[in-house]
Amino acid sequence: MAPPRGSAAYKKKDGTLALSKDGQSVSWTPVAPPGSKPALTLPLPIITNLQQTPASNPKVMLKIFAQAPGTSTPETHVFSFTSATAARAEADALKDALSKSIQTAKSGSALPGTPSGAGASSAAMAIASAVSSGRNAKGESDAWYDDSKLKQDVELQKSLLMANPSLSKTFMESLRTKPESISSSQFTSQFWSSRVHLLRAHAIEKNQTRGAYNVLSSIKPTTVDNEIKLSISKEQIQLIFNQHPLINRVYDENVPKLNEKDFWARFFQSRLFKKLKGERITDADPTDNILDKYLQYDDDTERAKRLMAAHVPHIIDVEGNEENHSQRKGNQPDLTMRPTSIDRVPIIRTLNALSEKILSHVAPNDVDPSLPIGVDEETFNELVLRDLQGDPEENRVILNIKDQSRFFNSDKESGLSADAILYAQQDPAKVLQSVQADLARVSSSTNLSTAIGVDSDSDSSDDDTSNPKKPHVGSKSSLSAATSQMLSLISAQRAQHDDLTISSSSFSTSQSSSTSGLSPLIFERLSLTHATTTEFLQHFWSAFLSGDATRAAEVSKLIETLSRAMDRIKAVAADAEAERNKEVEERRKKVQEFYDRTGKKRKVDYESIKGGAGAVNGLLAPTVRAIGVAKKEYERALREQGGDVNGV
Amino acid sequence: MNAVDGSDHYTKTSDEPPPSLLTIILDTNPHAWALLSPTLPLSAAIANLLVFVNAHLAFNNANRVAIIASHTQRAEFLYPLPAQETSSHTNGSAPQNGFDNDVEMADDGEPTVPPLSDDANHYRPFRLIQTTLLTALTTLLKTTPPSSLTPTTSIAGALTLALTYINKTTLSLSTTTSSTAPNADTTLAAETAPPALNPRILILSVSGDLAHQYIPIMNTIFACQRLSIPIDIAKIAGDTVFLQQASDATRGTYIKLDHPRGLLQYLMMGFLPDQTNRKYLVPPTAVGVDFRAACFCHRKVVDVGFVCSICLSIFCSPPEGAICLTCGTHLQLGEYGGKPVVVARKKKKRKNVEDGKGKDAT
């Protein structure tokens, strides 16, 4: 396809604006001297921005922002398209092509494309991808912290909804039941504005990629139709070249002669492959005349090079102290530790070297990045006597609390509490006297068993009827009343903790206790209704309290939705009640059968069958209360504002 | 010997649960007790408390107890009494006193424990506690002038005393069980080894009006939270205020006594189990916790209000000039005060709004 071009005027001179053949630059050639060279050439990398006049504008202009490296301000070039008939089309074509090329240049590709490009242009590619990924990473990390970007990122939201089924259910359900006056986009933005942290976490999670791994050991041939097939992805090839630069060398030297497919086929069957994987080379392996030359390649020189790179501070340099090498003479080291027997157990060496290489690219975990990089700091920290340093200073922020007395003399401002009023009616001296006299009744020789007033022989019934008004301290009635209060507290606590512990407890025989007697279906509906109602309540409050007059209609529609939510809750309660009635019926029938069979009557406690409207109402009581509060506030505001209450 | 001996000592640590230290804070506001005397006189309450203490000590030989009185203007230890300041060590510096080396008796202000007469029918440790507690309490009340009575009680001071006592006891117990190793090691060993002591605090509260001690009490609550010391509260009478939050934050038990005459039953059933046993029992603590805070300007209890983002102080309405009352920062308000129908006058933007009540109770 011919590179797009169009006749455009630049700086009041007619000419042609065209994209170059290789797509790497845009040039403008003036028309006046025919056949002249382009007067203005803009290479793509320096173009930062493109602007075009909208389609409604009769004038068609294209503005290109270019910032040459080394200059701090971008310069603009304005081209107005002069073609009589196809100005708009030309401009559009140019703009599309330009923006596409700029896009590809900016994003760069993570993979090298084809291995053939890997050799020569790997250096250039690496730099380009590093720059672009650097820019990308910065742009992305900005996006993570920019709330508005997260809220607009529809893709991210969709993937989060797919990953989190309960969230998607809530979203769909609320979307389905929302009032018509609220547009979908409004609703969506409201929905996500309270869940920005979820979006952020999801974005960061998605951005994590798998780290480098030992690629050679993961490549295994599959047998299909008696043929051995092997498939490698581009990413794996890239990793192979990274981890074994030897293969890179081999490839570069041999591929122009050999076909690429043949090269890889031979490689994976050769001894070289086995050696790099670390497996032992037996005599049964096929020999390969080209690849076996590289078997002699000594890995040691490379490792020595790496060691020289990592400077070991003298203070902890163990190898520097070679004279103390006890294994020189005497005990021969273990089979795996002997320096000459690489060929026997090559896998250990290979794996270790490979892991070291992979890890050297990963950011170190135990190094504090805020410390300066110099080695002296590290060794100094290792040498320093930590015990003598004293306590680390605490990071405390001083709050300037003005006028602390505010906190201490509030009694006078707020008025006296009921207790204080009662106390004020008492005479302090008399009070003290009475208390002291009371205390004198208990002395160190008091027999406690009589002092506590517990009479183990008394009949409980006597206490109740004989002296109902004033049981003494420690009487049976008071003790039993105390016991019953405690037991009710305990059972209330137990009911609270049931759903938490019941799933893990081995004593749960029926699942109904965790859902308080409701069937799973009803429970699901209930939780869904609750989630959507909470969502609408949130929406209502944010609209109501915002003071925005434009959202007034929204608020009124939300009130309608809330009443519909109430109806939904009632519907669920009715269903639950029907279910419970069914259960009661069944029990009744069973009892009847039992009676018919054996003639014995069995008492059934119908109250103990849990579930039904009672459970639903109990579970959702706070939500119902919240809806009531919202309605009340709204009606109150409505009355104050002079509007009439429409029976909402 | 241990310092020279280089071999490792594997001290056998016992598998039994550690003993527990029960610290009781007794609210001794005379006004409140006088009001309560028709239902539960102080003497009866003390007797019940002593039975409870005896039960706690009977559980385990190594269990300990401490009783602190939270009086109107001060807090004092009732048991164990602080050691008497004897003047024997000053005699060395004044040899001209001659042979007057007698230990001077402490003056009247200090509670002196009378010598313990042996009663064959009374277990000695129980008897000791009974005597000390009653003597100290009597002295405390005797030395209270009528002018010092207030409607409140110094719970914050008592809590601090309790915490210091717990700290002292824990330290003394942990150093006796570990070997003589350098300082850094003992703290490390103390952190990783099982605790030598299970401390807990029980507050018997009869009065309210603690709003002006809000900050100190919250500080002690956070300290107990860090040290995992449960604070149990038996509310016999008086306003709740935020003692519920104390027990909730430290995973203690809060019981409002509906029948004060059955005090012993409440104590024995609800507050006797120690920390190890509580893992297996359902605590009879009150179900709903009143988390509402008091606003800093009027001490009104609020559930929807404004929060300063710097110092987290709560206000019921935006302060004038949008200046926070405690830290003095000038704050921006978010939108608030919208009316639905008519065009609303745009108020200052509000800072933040706490969530409405009821929605977080499920």
pLDDT 10s digits, B238-266: 776 678 888 888 988 999 888 888 899 99
Spatial separation of the C-alpha atoms in residues A343 and A280, rounded to whole Å: 7
Q: Looking at CA atoms only, how far is residue A550 from chain B in angstroms? A: 8
Residues 534-563 of A with CB under 8 A from B: 534, 537, 541, 543-549, 551-552, 555-556
Separation between Cα atoms, residue A116 and residue A153, nearest integer Å: 37
* Region for A161 from its dihedrals, namely left if φ exceeds 0, alpha if ψ lies in -120 to 50, beta otherwise: alpha
Using the predicted structure, report yes or no on whether residue A120 has a pLDDT greater than 50: no
Residues of chain A neighbouring B326 (CB-CB closer than 8 A) = 399, 401-402, 406
- Which residues on A lie below 8 Å from B283 (Cβ)? 490, 493
Whole-number Å distance between alpha carbons of A623 and A582:
27
The reply to whether A485 touches chain B by the CB within 8 Å rule is: yes
Average pLDDT over residues A99-113: 55
Q: Which CATH architecture has domain B20-178+185-278?
A: 3-Layer(aba) Sandwich (3.40)
Q: For B205-230, what is each residue's pLDDT tens digit?
A: 988 767 667 778 888 999 999 999 99
Over residues A99-128, the mean pLDDT reads 47
Mean pLDDT for A70-96 is 71
**Interfacial A residues in 104-123 facing B (CB < 8 Å):** none
Q: Tell me if chain B has a CB within 8 Å of the CB of A643.
A: yes
A500: its two tokens: 């938490």
Is the per-residue pLDDT at B314 higher than 90? no
- Give which of B83, B194, B79 is closest to B129, Cα–Cα: B79
DSSP string computed for B197-266 = -EEEEEEEE-----GGGHHHHHHHHHHHHHHT--EEEEE-SS--TTHHHHHHHTT--EEE-S-GGGHHHH
A494 in contact with B, Cβ within 8 Å: yes
Residue A376 confidence (pLDDT): 63
What pLDDT digit, counting tens, does each position of B132-159 carry?
998 899 898 888 888 888 778 888 899 9
* B341: nearest CA partner in chain A: A552
Q: Is A443 on the interface with B (CB under 8 A)?
A: yes
Q: Do A642 and B137 touch (CB under 8 A)?
A: no
Query: What are the beta bridge partners of residue B302?
Result: B293
| pLDDT at residue B231, as a whole number | 93
Q: Give the count of Cβ contacts less than 8 A between chain A and B.
A: 270
Whether the per-residue pLDDT at B173 is higher than 60: the answer is: yes
d(C-alpha B354, C-alpha A592), whole Å = 56
pLDDT for B194: 66
Q: pLDDT digits over A3-34, tens only?
A: 667 777 777 777 777 777 676 777 777 776 66
Chain A residues touching B299 at Cβ < 8 A: 410, 413-414
Interface of A with B in 30-69 (CB under 8 A): none
Question: What are the φ and ψ backbone dihedral angles of B198, each rounded to 5 degrees?
Answer: -110, 100
Closest CA to B313 of B297, B292, B300: B297
Residue of B nearest to A441 (CA): B43
The answer on pLDDT for A391 being more than 70 is: yes
Q: Is the peptide bond before B195 cis (omega within 30 degrees of 0)?
A: no
Distance from CA of B96 to the nearest CA of A (A): 42
Which pLDDT value is given to residue B160? 94
Work out the number of other CB atoms within 10 angstroms of the CB of residue A208: 7
Report the gap between the CA of A308 and the closest CA in chain B (Å).
38
Contacts A452 to B, Cβ<8 Å: 44, 47-48, 51, 264
Domain coordinates in residue numbering, chain B: 20-178+185-278, 292-337
pLDDT at residue A135 tops 50: no
At A298, the amino acid letter reads: D
Residues from chain B that touch A486, judged by Cβ atoms under 8 A, are 255, 265-266, 269-270, 284
Kindly give the residue spans of alpha helices, DSSP state H, lying in A83-114. Answer: 87-107
Task: Look at residue B66 in the predicted model and tell me its pLDDT.
Answer: 94
pLDDT score for B211? 67
Q: Which of A471, A545, A556 sits opposite B338 (nearest CB)?
A: A545
- Output helix, strand, coil percentages for chain A, rounded to the nearest 5: 60, 5, 35
Which of A336-350, A592-606, B221-235, B334-348 reaches the highest mean pLDDT? B221-235
Tell me which residue in A426, A436, A548 faces B31 most closely, judged by beta carbons. Answer: A426
How many Å lie between the alpha carbon of B313 and the closest alpha carbon of chain A? Answer: 10
Nearest Cβ partner for B326 among A401, A496, A642: A401
Could you tell me the pLDDT band of residue A605, with boundaries at 50, 70 and 90?
A: low
Which tokens is A231 given?
């498939």
Scanning every residue of chain A, which has its alpha carbon at the shortest distance from the alpha carbon of B348?
A547
Strand partners for A6: A17
User: How much is the pLDDT for A412?
Assistant: 43
- Mean pLDDT for A106-121 is 40
Chosen from B31, B122, B317, B348 to mutate, greatest number of chain A CBs within 10 A? B31
Q: Which range, of A92-96, A201-205, B49-53, averages the lowest pLDDT? A: A92-96
Cα(A2)–Cα(A10) distance, rounded to whole angstroms?
Answer: 22
Between residues A449 and B44, which one has the greater pLDDT? Answer: B44
Residue A458: pLDDT band (50, 70, 90) is: low
Closest CA to B307 of B336, B337, B331: B331
Q: Which residues contact A104 (CB under 8 A, 6 or more apart)?
A: none
Distance CA A412, CA B154 (A): 18
Task: Report whether pLDDT(A563) > 60.
Answer: yes
The pLDDT of B285-299, averaged and rounded, is 71
More confident residue, A380 or B200: B200
- Which residue in B149, B215, B284 is closest to A431 by CB distance? B149
- From the list A422, A442, A544, the residue facing B340 with the nearest CB is A544
d(CA A164, CA A179): 25
At B164 the pLDDT is 94
Minimal Cα distance from A630: which residue of B? B356
B253/B268 Cα distance (integer angstroms): 13
- pLDDT of the residue at A411: 44
Query: Per-residue pLDDT averaged across B169-187, rounded?
Result: 61
Q: Indicate the pairing of strand B301-302 with strand B293-294.
A: antiparallel
Residue A251 neighbours by CB under 8 Å, 6+ apart: A115, A118, A119, A241, A263
**How close is the nearest chain B Cα to the Cα of A643, in Å?**
7
Torsion sign over Cα A254, A256, A259, A261: positive
H-helix or E-strand containing A118?
helix A115-145
The reply to whether residue B270 touches residue A486, judged by beta carbons under 8 angstroms, is: yes
Q: How far is CA A142 from CA A133, A138, B121, in A?
A: 14, 6, 79
CB contact under 8 A, A439 and B134: yes
Q: How far apart (Å, rounded) are the C-alpha atoms in residues A176 and A190? A: 15
Direct distance between the N- and C-terminal alpha carbons of chain A, in angstroms, rounded to an integer: 66
Cβ distance B261 to A475 less than 8 Å, yes or no, reads yes
ipTM summary value: 0.70
pLDDT in tens, A156-168: 888 888 888 888 8
- pTM for this predicted structure: 0.56
Residue, of A606 and B113, whose pLDDT is higher: A606
Are A432 and B362 inside 8 Å of each other by CB? no
> For residue B302, is pLDDT > 60?
yes
Phi, psi dihedral angles at A15 (to 5 degrees): -175, -165
CA A366 to chain centre: 24
What is the identity of the amino acid at B217? Answer: I
Q: How confident is the model at residue B115 (pLDDT cuts 50, 70, 90)?
A: low
Task: Give the amino acid at A335.
Answer: L
Q: Does A507 touch chain B (CB under 8 A)?
A: no
pLDDT computed for residue B343 by the predictor: 33
Q: What is the DSSP letter of B334?
A: B
* Token pair for A563: 């009443």
Has residue A536 got a pLDDT over 70?
yes
Question: Best of B259, B298, B302, B352 to disrupt the A interface by mutation (most A CBs within 10 Å)?
Answer: B259
Task: Provide the percentage of residues in chain B whose pLDDT is more than 70.
Answer: 68
Q: What chain B residue is nearest to A636 in terms of C-alpha separation? A: B339
Rounded Cα distance, A203 and A150, in Å: 9
Separation between Cα atoms, residue A290 and residue A518, nearest integer Å:
75
